């Protein structure tokens, strides 16, 4: 501060810092530091203005440092101090906001409208709508009148928390309090309806805002179009887009993305491509979401060439693709039997280190299906494979690409919800006890389950099973000291569960060579095959058993990995489990496998048809199976089917065939 222009006293500095706080937090902080250099004692107003400047500049850490200086200088803190500090908090600091509010109460400072509005805003950003609502009710108890800013912050908190009915209730409270809504109010309400999949409510609010002479903006229309997109109302979404053009409201990237997504969901691939062209003509920035939606539209229209072309256009535009875009293009190719092109795209995705956005998905929870009849089929086939592999004294490596949790408790809420284990493993256990002939692999499979249940639960051999072994835990009981197991589980929480489960079991065979990886098995195996043959030596048994929550992407990867493993590890046997969802898809899958020319491929399948349920079918593709697998399964599968289908109205059938090239 120039000595010639302003006197060096606290009043002058306070006025200047307050002026700077509205535009430059750095300037305000510089003046605050200058005061200390000149020995001018700062007061509460000085600190409040400096903290407020940091809040406006989103400098929470610096605001907290100023607070520490204030405390060490024994300067009195007031309501403005705390309100400014809370205003500096972001969503990540919502717990700090709770602490500051608690400290205010301890200091007997009364929160005002600004304090509450700032805190509610922080809780909204942090998706802590419950805390925001609690503060709103605290305001009423304290006699603090909520204004439009407070209500807008609260509605936004409910919107981010997907509480659309609560947001509408708050809107009614605003009306009762005679508070006038603005464009922020309506935009937040419409967005809340969008998240609540209430597109008619969103449209009603948009029209109401227009009748109230509130000028809807891009954000308002974007929320309305997104609401229509979520509910596949592509015609209404397109009408809203056209309305924006008529009203002269600028469409941005979000507008175009939502409209293209609506057209994609409505199967309007031609209109989606036209919208993409409009976007380019308007020089609106296109991103990965834009192209992914357009490619997905081509996928639904089975326009594989257009989908592949869009991937090229995306690269030319400098937009980094992700797995959603590539999987959609591959699915379009698969639907049109362009399997070689799909394989090339998958290789390109692998070589280009394309971002894997599937990591954010909720992990598949197998406890719902654990011990089902189809689980029994899969694991009896696996037990037969392990029996054959261990009949040879030579060592082998067991690989499980999607290992899961390892052990599943039938007493868990998920298992009890559907109780699939009752018609599966418990029925098999009961029928085996009274059956005159039980095939060797089935007998060994059940004996392994009983032994592990005795270890885990202390149950005797005659009681019902409580714990079910997934494929890695089952394999662990067969493997010998000379063998090795490499297990993969991509989901971090399930990976931790797997490691814990395997630690509970103590193989009597002396097996110890175990590796458990928290990585994507597909990428690991294909990249490993490119770096050298060290891993792919000697005998091997690979189980590929993905959750199929995205059928097309998993199928593409399965076929890709099958081909790689046959080329790099020809001495291995590969078992691929797959669901049979419909006849056309099933036929297409087997034709694709046949075209890969993998050598000997044995196909084992089982179908469960009940009078009250839809057909449930699955298969195991056995590539380069161990010797004598066909006669073994020819005996085992009918025996399994007979024991799984005692109730009237239930029929279990199995089939076994070689897949000729």
Q: What is the pLDDT of residues 115-125, one digit of tens each?
A: 999 999 999 88
Can you give the pLDDT at residue 403?
97
Can you give the pLDDT at residue 410?
96
Is 30 domain-assigned?
Answer: no
pLDDT tens, residue by residue, 36-53: 888 888 889 988 888 888
Can you give the pLDDT at residue 266?
94
Residue 319, pLDDT > 50, answer yes
Residue 431 burial by CB count (10 A; 0-12/13-18/19+): exposed, middle or buried? middle
Can you give the pLDDT at residue 535?
83
Can you give the pLDDT at residue 360?
41
Going by C-alpha positions, the residue among 320, 332, 329, 331 that lies closest to residue 356 is 320
Percent of residues, the chain, with pLDDT higher than 70:
93
Is 364 domain-assigned?
Answer: no
Written as six digits, the tokens of 314 are 């995306």
Identify the helix (H) or strand (E) that includes residue 606. Answer: strand 601-610
Spatial distance between the Cα atoms of 554 and 547, rounded to a whole number of angstroms: 8
Q: How confident is the model at residue 340 (pLDDT cuts 50, 70, 90)?
A: confident
Identify the helix (H) or strand (E) that includes residue 582. Answer: none
CB atoms inside a 10 Å sphere around CB 361: 12
Per the CB < 8 A criterion, the answer to whether 45 and 9 are in contact is no
* CA triple 223-180-237, angle to 5 deg: 20
Can you give the pLDDT at residue 533?
67
- 125: left (phi > 0), else alpha (psi -120 to 50), else beta? alpha
Is 468 domain-assigned?
Answer: yes
Q: Domain with 545 in it: what CATH number?
A: 3.40.50.150
Q: How confident is the model at residue 20 (pLDDT cuts 50, 70, 90)?
A: confident
Residue 396, pLDDT > 60, answer yes
Written as six digits, the tokens of 447 are 């004996």
Can you give the pLDDT at residue 621?
98
Task: Pick the range with the lowest mean pLDDT from 30-39, 355-364, 421-430.
Answer: 355-364
The pTM for the full model equals 0.71
Per the CB < 8 A criterion, the answer to whether 7 and 29 are in contact is no
Which of 45-54, 83-92, 135-144, 492-501 has the largest mean confidence? 492-501
Can you give the pLDDT at residue 3?
45
Q: How confident is the model at residue 2 (pLDDT cuts 50, 70, 90)?
A: very low
Can you give the pLDDT at residue 505?
86
Spatial distance between the Cα atoms of 406 and 476, rounded to a whole number of angstroms: 10
Q: How confident is the model at residue 645 (pLDDT cuts 50, 70, 90)?
A: confident
What is the rounded average pLDDT of the residues 133-146? 90
CB atoms inside a 10 Å sphere around CB 139: 21
pLDDT tens, residue by residue, 590-614: 998 998 999 999 999 999 886 544 4
What is the rounded average pLDDT of the residues 376-380? 98
Can you give the pLDDT at residue 12?
86
Is 163 domain-assigned?
Answer: no
Residue 558, pLDDT > 70, answer yes
How long is the chain?
661
Is 532 domain-assigned?
Answer: yes
Residue 28, pLDDT > 90, answer no
Higher-pLDDT residue of 334 and 7 is 334
Is 435 domain-assigned?
Answer: yes
Is 442 domain-assigned?
Answer: yes
Residue 337, pLDDT > 90, answer no
Residue 508, pLDDT > 70, answer no
Identify the helix (H) or strand (E) that includes residue 221. Answer: helix 218-230
Q: If you search the block for the tokens 């009148």, which residue do you land on?
A: 145
What is the rounded average pLDDT of the residues 323-327? 87
CB atoms inside a 10 Å sphere around CB 237: 27
Q: Is the dihedral of CA 446, 452, 458, 464 positive or negative?
A: negative
pLDDT tens, residue by residue, 155-209: 999 999 899 999 999 999 999 999 999 999 999 999 999 998 889 999 999 999 9
Q: Give per-residue burial for 293-317: e unless 16+ CB within 10 Å, then b.
A: bbbbbbbbbebbebbbebbeebeee
Can you give the pLDDT at residue 52?
87
Q: How confident is the model at residue 507 (pLDDT cuts 50, 70, 90)?
A: low
Can you give the pLDDT at residue 402?
96
Q: How confident is the model at residue 474 (pLDDT cuts 50, 70, 90)?
A: very high
Can you give the pLDDT at residue 1?
45
For 556, the domain range is 371-658
Residue 484, pLDDT > 90, answer yes
Supply the mean pLDDT for the chain.
Answer: 89
pLDDT tens, residue by residue, 269-314: 999 999 999 999 999 999 999 999 999 999 999 999 999 999 999 9
Can you give the pLDDT at residue 127?
87
As for how many domains the chain has, the answer is: 1
Is 461 domain-assigned?
Answer: yes
Q: How confident is the model at residue 359 (pLDDT cuts 50, 70, 90)?
A: low
pLDDT tens, residue by residue, 515-536: 999 999 998 998 865 556 678 8
């Amino acid at each position: 501060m120039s000595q010639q222009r302003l006197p060096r006293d606290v009043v002058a500095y306070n006025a200047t810092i307050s002026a700077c706080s509205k535009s430059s937090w750095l300037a305000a902080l510089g003046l605050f530091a200058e005061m200390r250099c000149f020995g001018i004692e700062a007061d509460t107003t000085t600190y409040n203005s400096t903290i407020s400047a940091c809040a406006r500049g989103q400098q929470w850490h610096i605001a907290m440092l100023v607070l520490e200086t204030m405390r060490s200088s024994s300067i009195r803190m007031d309501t403005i101090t705390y309100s400014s500090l809370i205003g500096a908090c972001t969503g990540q600091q919502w717990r700090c906001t709770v602490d500051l509010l608690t400290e205010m109460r301890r200091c007997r400072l009364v929160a005002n409208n600004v304090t509450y509005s700032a805190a509610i805003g922080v809780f909204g950003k942090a998706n802590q709508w419950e805390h925001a609502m609690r503060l709103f009710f605290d305001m009423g108890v304290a006699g603090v009148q909520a204004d439009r800013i407070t209500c807008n912050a609260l509605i936004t908190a409910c919107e981010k928390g997907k509480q659309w009915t609560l947001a509408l209730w708050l809107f009614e409270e605003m009306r009762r309090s005679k508070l006038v809504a603005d464009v922020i109010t309506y935009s937040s309400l419409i967005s809340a309806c969008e998240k609540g999949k209430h597109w008619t409510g969103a449209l009603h609010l948009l029209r109401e805002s227009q009748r109230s002479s509130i000028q809807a903006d891009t954000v308002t229309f974007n929320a309305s179009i997104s609401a229509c997109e979520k509910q596949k109302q592509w015609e209404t979404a397109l009408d809203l887009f056209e309305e924006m053009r008529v009203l002269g409201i600028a469409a941005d990237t979000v507008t175009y993305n939502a409209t293209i997504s609506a057209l994609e969901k409505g199967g309007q691939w031609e209109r989606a491509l036209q919208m993409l062209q409009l976007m380019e003509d308007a020089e609106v920035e296109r991103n990965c979401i834009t192209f992914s939606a357009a490619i997905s539209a081509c996928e639904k229209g089975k326009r594989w060439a257009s989908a592949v072309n869009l991937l090229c256009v995306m690269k030319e535009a400098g937009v980094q693709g992700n797995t959603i875009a590539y999987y959609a293009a591959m699915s379009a190719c698969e639907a049109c039997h362009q399997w070689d092109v799909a394989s090339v795209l998958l290789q390109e995705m692998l070589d280009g280190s394309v971002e894997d956005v599937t990591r954010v998905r909720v992990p598949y929870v197998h406890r719902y299906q654990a011990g089902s009849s189809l689980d029994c089929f899969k694991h009896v086939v696996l037990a037969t494979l392990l029996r054959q592999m261990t009949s040879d004294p030579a060592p082998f490596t067991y690989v499980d690409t999607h290992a899961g949790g390892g052990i599943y408790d039938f007493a868990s809420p998920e298992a009890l919800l559907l109780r699939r284990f009752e018609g599966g493993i418990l029925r098999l256990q009961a029928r085996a006890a009274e059956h005159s002939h039980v095939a060797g692999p089935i007998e060994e499979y059940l004996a392994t389950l009983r032994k592990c249940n005795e270890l885990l639960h202390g149950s005797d051999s005659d009681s019902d099973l409580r714990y079910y072994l997934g494929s890695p835990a089952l394999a662990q009981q067969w493997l010998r000291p000379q063998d090795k197991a490499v297990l993969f589980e991509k989901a971090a929480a399930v990976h931790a569960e797997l490691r814990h489960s395997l630690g509970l079991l103590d193989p009597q065979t002396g097996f110890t060579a175990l590796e458990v990886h928290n990585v994507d098995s597909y990428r690991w195996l294909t990249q490993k095959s490119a770096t050298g043959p060290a891993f792919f030596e000697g005998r091997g048994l690979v189980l590929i058993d993905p959750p199929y929550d995205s059928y097309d992407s998993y199928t593409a990867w399965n076929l890709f990995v099958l081909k790689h493993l046959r080329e790099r590890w020809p001495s291995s046997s590969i078992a691929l489990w797959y669901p049979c969802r419909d006849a056309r898809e099933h036929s297409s899958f087997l034709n694709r496998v046949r075209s890969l020319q993998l050598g000997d491929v044995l196909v084992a399948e089982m179908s469960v048809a009940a009078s009250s349920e839809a057909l449930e079918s699955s298969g195991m593709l056995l590539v380069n199976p161990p010797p004598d697998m066909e006669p073994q399964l020819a005996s085992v599968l009918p025996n399994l089917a007979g024991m799984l289908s005692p109730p009237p109205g239930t029929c279990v059938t199995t089939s076994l065939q070689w897949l000729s090239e």
